[in-house]
Amino acid sequence: MAQLPHSLRDNVRLLGELLGDTLLKHEGPKIFKKVEDIRTQGKHVVGESADAQGLLTLLSSVEDHEVLPITRSFNQFLNLANIAEQEFSASVEAGTDDHLDQLLVKQVATLGKDELAKVVNSLKIELVLTAHPTEVTRRTLIHKYDKIADSLSSLRRADLLPHEISQEQSNLSRLIEEIWTTDEIRNERPTAVDEARWGFAVIESSLWQAVPDFIRHLDGLSRKRLGKGLALNAAPFAFYSWMGGDRDGNPNVTHDVTEKVLLLGRWMAASLYLKDIKSLAGDLSMSAASAELIAQLPEGSKTPYRDILAPVASLLENTVSWANDKLRGNDVYAASNTLLTERAQVLSTLELCHRSLCEQGLEEIANGPLTDCIRRFNCFGINLVPLDIRQDGERHVKVLDELTQYLDMPEYRGKGSYIEWDEDARQAFLLEQLESKRPLFPRNWRCSDDSQEVLATCRVIAQEPEETLSQYVISMAQQPSDVLAVSLLLKECGMTWNMPVVPLFETLDDLDRAPSVMNRLWQMHWYQTYSAGHQTVMIGYSDSAKDAGKLAATWAQYKAQEQLVKIADKYGVQLVLFHGRGGTVGRGGGPVEKAMASQPPGSVKGVIRVTEQGEMIRYKFGRKRVAFKSLSTYVTANLLATLAPDAAPKPEWRELIEVMSKVSLEAYRAVVRGHPDFVPYFRSLTPEQELSKLALGSRPAKRKATGGVESLRAIPWVFAWMQVRLNLPAWLGTGQALKHAQEEYPETLQDMLVNWPFFESFMDLLEMVLGKADLQVSAHYESQLVDPAVRPLGQRLRGDLAELGEIILKLKGQDNLLDHDPVLQSTLSVRKPYVDPLNFLQVELLKRERKAGSISADLERALKVTMTGISAGMRNTG
C-alpha cells in the first residue's frame, strides 16, 4: 500500500491533532479517549478477512449521550481531510509542468501556428451550474473550510517567519473550534432562491478572479507558442445556471422564483461590474486618447477615459438601484435604455478605451484590468449566469390537451383531444399554429393551476432581456412534437426571439430514439428556420443509468452521440452535445480528462456543454486556485478531444460491447425490476426513507409524490447505496457482461481495455467505485436491518461485486484495486478507520428508530451526522 505524500500526510495530521485538542477541550477526556480507542480499533479492520468484532464491541459500549459527539468528531475529521487533499492537489498542480503548454507545443508541430490559434480562439466550454439535492454541507461551514484551506496554503510558504507560522496555526485552531461549536446539520431546507444566491457567491468569491486570470494565462501561452494572443473578445468559458430555472419535478420553482432569480442575477452582476468600472476610472487617469474616443466627449476633457466611463457607471448604478427596489417589492419603472439589458451597452465603451490606449502606445495599460473587465463581460454577461429553463415534457402535453378540449377539437384528424393524437397529428397541428399569425389562446380560457404555472413561466421568459436566458430544456423528451410544443407555448406567451429548445433524452429507449427524433426535426422547414442551423441536444446520464444500468447506459449514450453527430453533419447543423453529468460514477461523473477523451470522435469540435452540480461546483470552483486548475483541465481536455480525437471503435469492439451491453441490461433489470425482494431489500438495507430527515436541496427526492423506486430521483438513489458502501448503481450487471466477454472473447476484451479510451475510462471508473465499496460493512447493514427472508438477495449481490473485483484485477494484471492510483488507494485506506465507525453507528441508530418509531433529538441529529460523515468520507453524495 502506497503512503500519502509527506506534505499531505503532515497537513492531515496537523488538522487531526487540532481537532483532537478541540474535542478534549469541549467534550472532556472521557469522550476524547473513546474517540481515540474507536479510531485505533478501526485501524485493525483492514482487508476482506479483517474482523470488525472488536470495533463493534467497543461501539456497543458507547452511551446514548456520547453518540453525538463521537459521530461529530469522525465527521469533522473527514471534512478536514478533504480540505487537506484538495489543497494538496492544487499545490501539486501548480508545481508541475503546464499540461496545456505541453499540448500546444505538440499540436503546433501537427497543425501549424495559425490553424491552432483559430481553434484556441474559438473554444467554447459551457458550464451549467445546478443545485444539488443531496449537498450535505452547510454554507457557513463551507466558508470556514475555505479559510482553513487558505491557512494551509499560507503555511506552505518558505519565507514565513516563526511568528507568522504561529499565527496561521492559531487561525487553524480557532477555525476548527468555530466549526465544532457550529451545528453542522441544516435545520431548514434551502429555497431555490437560496441555491441561486449560493451560485452567485461562488462566482463572486472565486470565478470572478479565476476566469480572467486563466484567460490571461492562456493568452500568454498563445503568444509564446503560437505567435499571437487571444482575440480581445475571446471567451473560452461561459457559465449558465439551472438554479431557479429547473422546475422538473420541483414544485418549489415557480414563475415568481424564476423572475426573482433573474432579477438577483442582474443586481449582482451590475454591482460587481460597477466596482470594476469605478476601479478602472481611478486607474485610467491618463489624458492622451484617440480621436475616436475624444469625438464622443465635450471639448476640453482632461481625463477622457474617466469621462467616457462615467455614463457606464451611471447605467450600472441605475441598474443596481432599480433591481434593489424591485427585490424589495417596490413597483418601480425604468426605461430600458437606462438599465443594463445587453453586454454591448458597456462593452462598446470598454473596447473603445482599449483601442484608444493601444493607439497611444499604452498596450500594457490596455491589457491590464481593462482587458480583465472586458473578458468578464464576455464570460458572465448581464446576470452572471444566463438561466436555463427546464420542464418535464408531460407538462406541455397537458397544457395543449386542456386547450384542445376547451376549443372542442375532437374532429382534428378524427381523434380526441391532443393527448390522444398520434405523433403525426400533433406535429401537423403544432406546425399549423406556429405558422399562423392568429393567436391561439382564447381570451377567457381558464386552465388548471398546473398548466397556468407553465404558461406563467413562459410569460416571464417573454418579458426578460434575451441575454438573461439561455435555453429551454425538455426533460423526458420523446418525440419532435415535444420540441414544437414548447416553441408554440413560448410564441403564444409573447416571445419575440427564438429561444433554443433543447430535448433531453434520458431513458435507454429515449437515447435509442434520439437520432430519429432529431432527424425528423431537422427535416422540417419551419424548424430549420427557427433553429437557424444551431442545435443543442442534452444527453441524460443519471436516469439512463438508473433505467438500464451503468454499462448499457454508457454504450447507449456513446451510440446516440455518434449518430447525432452524423445526422447533424448531413444537415449542416452546428450541434452542441449537452452532457447532464452528475458527481458520481453512477451518474456519469468522473475526471474531466477521462470524460472528454472517451467521447465519440468528432463530437466535441471545440464546443461542449456540461452540468456541474452543487457539490462538484464546490470541489472544482469553490476556491480561486482550484478553479484556475479546473478551468485549465477543461481547456486541455477540450483541445485534446477536438484536435486529436481517437479513432472510431473497431468493428469487433463494437460487436462485443453491443453483446456486453445486452447481457448487462438483462442482469441489471432482472434484479432492479424483476426480483421480488429487491424493493424491500433496498428500503430496509439503506437509509433511503431516512434521507428525508436531512434538510437538503429545494427539490423533492421524488419526481412525483407517489410511486416507488422507479419514481425516486437518480441522486438520492445513488446516495442511499453509497451510504451502505455497496455503490450498486455504478456496477450492477457489469460483472456478468465482463465475465461473458472474458470467457468468449478474451483477446478482443483485452484489446479494448488497452487501445480504446472509451472502454479504458469506463473500466478505470468502475475500479474506483469498487475501491470505495466495502463488503463487510454492507453485510453488517444487512445482518442488522434486513428481514432474513430477503437476505439471500444481498448475499448474491455481494458475491457479484466480489467476482467483479476479481475480474478487474485479472484483466488489469493487478494484485489490488487502485494499484494504478496509489494516492487514492492510500487516502481511502486512511479514511477507512473514520468512515467504518460512522457506518456501524448509523446501523445501530437506524435499527433503534425503526424498532421504536422514533429516537431522541440528539440521536436523530447523530443519525444525520453519520449521513454527512459517510458522504464526506466517500467524497460524494449523489
DSSP codes joined into one string, 269-319:
HHHHHHHHHHHHHHH-------HHHHTTS-TT-SSHHHHHHHHHHHHHHHH
| 465 has a pLDDT exceeding 90 | yes
| Predicted pLDDT of residue 141 | 85
What φ, ψ does residue 539 adopt, rounded to 5°? Answer: -105, 120
Tell me the per-residue pLDDT of 383-430, one tens digit each, with 9 for 90 and over: 999 999 999 999 999 999 999 999 887 555 566 789 999 999 999 999
- C-alpha cell at position 652: 469487433
| Predicted pLDDT of residue 710 | 60
| Predicted pLDDT of residue 426 | 94
Place of cell 438508473: 546
**Could you tell me which residues come within 8 angstroms of residue 146 by beta carbon, excluding any fewer than 6 positions away?**
205, 622, 623
Tell me the per-residue pLDDT of 26-84, one tens digit each, with 9 for 90 and over: 999 999 999 999 998 988 876 555 678 889 999 999 999 999 999 999 999 999 988 88
Residue 591 — pLDDT band, cuts 50, 70, 90? confident
What mean pLDDT do residues 743-747 have? 97
How far is the C-alpha of 736 from the C-alpha of 804, rounded, in Å?
Answer: 8
| 330 has a pLDDT exceeding 60 | yes
Q: Where are the alpha helices (H) located in 686-756, listed in sequence order?
A: 714-723, 734-744, 746-755
| 223 has a pLDDT exceeding 90 | yes
Judge residue 466's burial from the number of C-beta atoms within 10 Å of its C-beta, 0-12 exposed, 13-18 middle, 19 or more buried.
middle
| Predicted pLDDT of residue 332 | 84
**Could you tell me which residues come within 8 angstroms of residue 195 by beta carbon, excluding any fewer than 6 positions away?**
131, 243, 244, 614, 697, 698
What percent of the chain shows pLDDT beyond 70? 93
| 479 has a pLDDT exceeding 70 | yes
Residue 137 — pLDDT band, cuts 50, 70, 90? low
How far is the C-alpha of 40 from the C-alpha of 450, rounded, in Å?
Answer: 56
Residue 646 — pLDDT band, cuts 50, 70, 90? confident
What mean pLDDT do residues 84-108 have? 78
Judge residue 65's burial from the number of C-beta atoms within 10 Å of its C-beta, 0-12 exposed, 13-18 middle, 19 or more buried.
exposed
Q: Which of 34, 132, 396, 740 is catalytic?
A: 132
Domain boundaries, the chain: 392-577, 650-820
Please report which helix (H) or strand (E) contains residue 580, including its range: strand 574-580
How far is the C-alpha of 264 from the C-alpha of 256, rounded, in Å?
Answer: 12
- State in Å, rounded, how far the first CA of the chain is from the last one: 28
Q: Where are the alpha helices (H) located in 773-821, listed in sequence order?
A: 775-785, 791-812
Residue 95 — pLDDT band, cuts 50, 70, 90? very low
| 588 has a pLDDT exceeding 50 | no
| 355 has a pLDDT exceeding 70 | yes
What percent of the chain shows pLDDT beyond 90? 74
Class of the 392-577 domain? alpha beta
Give me the chain's average pLDDT, please: 91
Query: Mutual orientation of helices 423-435 and 480-492 as an angle, nearest 10°?
Result: 30
| Length of the chain in terms of residues written | 878
| Predicted pLDDT of residue 694 | 75
132 as an active site residue: the answer is yes
6 as an active site residue: the answer is no
- The more confidently predicted of residues 705 and 748 is 748
| Predicted pLDDT of residue 851 | 93
Tell me the per-residue pLDDT of 673-717, one tens digit each, with 9 for 90 and over: 999 999 999 999 999 988 877 755 545 555 454 445 565 666 788
Q: Which of 255, 398, 546, 739 is catalytic?
A: 546
| Predicted pLDDT of residue 829 | 85
What mean pLDDT do residues 624-651 have? 92
- The more confidently predicted of residues 647 and 587 is 647
